[in-house]
Amino acid sequence: MMNPIELKKAVGSGLLSFPVTHFDDQLKFDEAKYRRHVEWLAGYDAAALFAAGGTGEFFSLNPAEIPQVVRAAKVSAGNTPIISGTGYGTSLAIEIAQAAEKAGADGLLLLPPYLMFAEQAGLIAHVKAVCQSVGIGVIVYNRDNAVLTAESIARLAEECPNLIGFKDGVGDVDKVIEITTLLGDRLVYVGGMPTHEVYAQAYFAAGVTTYSSAVFNFVPALAQRFYGALRTGNQATVDEILKSFFFPFVALRNRKKGYAVSIIKAGLRVLGQNPGPVRPPLTDLTQEELALLEKIVQANGLSRIAAE
Q: Hey, how many other C-beta atoms are within 10 angstroms of the C-beta on 171?
A: 16
Catalytic residue among 141, 203, 227, 259: 141
Is 167 part of the annotated catalytic residue set? Answer: yes
Catalytic residue among 33, 74, 167, 265: 167
Is 114 part of the annotated catalytic residue set? Answer: no
Question: Is 55 annotated in some ligand binding site?
Answer: yes
Catalytic site positions: 141, 167
Annotated binding site for pyruvate: 55
Could you list the residues known to form a binding site, using ranges: 55
